Amino acid sequence: MTPEEETDALLDALGRGEMPDSGDPAARLLAALLDDVDQRRSSVSMTPST
């Protein structure tokens, strides 16, 4: 697998909410950032206040 294919596979897995390799610090960082964004998005109202 080429480095580009590995990167694509990692991003695809993270996009599906999967943690592909817990030993990879970059993957852990990306997963934590995605989790943080998901938590912030769920705590913010998406409807405008009137």
DSSP states of 1-45: --HHHHHHHHHHHHHTT----TT-HHHHHHHHHHHHHHHHHHHS-
For the chain, give the number of residues.
50
**35 vs 23: CA distance, rounded Å:** 18
Band of residue 4 on the pLDDT scale cut at 50, 70, 90:
very high
Instruction: Please give the pLDDT value at position 3.
Output: 92
- Whether the pTM exceeds 0.85: the reply is no
- Does residue 19 contact residue 27 with C-beta atoms inside 8 Å? yes
Q: What is the dihedral of CA 36, 13, 23, 40, to 10 degrees?
A: 0
